[in-house]
Amino acid sequence: MSTQLITKKAIAYVTNKDELMVFTHADFPEAGVQVPAGTVEESEEPSEAVLREVYEESGVKGVRIIELLGIYQYNMTPYRNEIQERYVYHLELTQSTPSTWQHWEIHPSTSKNPIAFDFYWVKLDGSDLGLAGGQGYFLSKLAHKINNSGSPDNT
């Protein structure tokens, strides 16, 4: 039996009031609905990685970290022989965005060509919103905080 790699990943739950920023792959709809996320590089902290990934994938710079919601491990089998140690952050939008927009990730780790992402906002309803690849792990915790505090700053 081969040893599984453990890869650190940063996942961004970017909110605007009670809505969450999500996207689909324009050319690969089968990849499902996702939130900005990616690999934590050797030279960076997960908190730095999450800000970088939000910008690379969405083009949005106007976000601030509210808190680290938690860390969990996710087994990527059968897709690849990897355990992901996922750092999930709640970030708040600090600039306005359209209700929908498309952004091209220029330096995707999986391909030389830019990848088009279609972004939009969905209401946090306490479910995992059907996010792909287990990304919705902490969404019920986030929805509970937002819906019970009136504002994420009062947690």
Q: Would the pLDDT of 50 be above 80? A: yes
Peptide bond between residue 46 and the one before it cis (omega within 30 degrees of 0): no
Query: On the CB side of 135, how many CA atoms lie within 13 Å of its CA?
Result: 25
Helix segments in 26-124, DSSP class H: 46-58
Residue 4 is classified by DSSP as P
- Mean pLDDT score of the chain, rounded to an integer? 91
Domains of the chain: 5-150 (3.90.79.10)
CA-based diameter of the chain, in Å? 50
pTM: 0.90
**What's the pLDDT at 80?**
86
Q: What tokens were used for 45?
A: 């902290």
**Catalytic site residues?**
56
Question: Could you report the per-residue pLDDT of 62-85, keeping only the tens digit for each?
Answer: 999 999 999 999 998 888 889 999
Binning pLDDT at 50, 70 and 90, where does residue 155 land? Answer: very low
Binning pLDDT at 50, 70 and 90, where does residue 105 land? Answer: confident
User: Are the beta carbons of 24 and 31 closer than 8 angstroms?
Assistant: yes
Q: Would the pLDDT of 153 be above 60? A: no
Mean pLDDT computed over 101-105: 94
**What's the pLDDT at 147?**
82
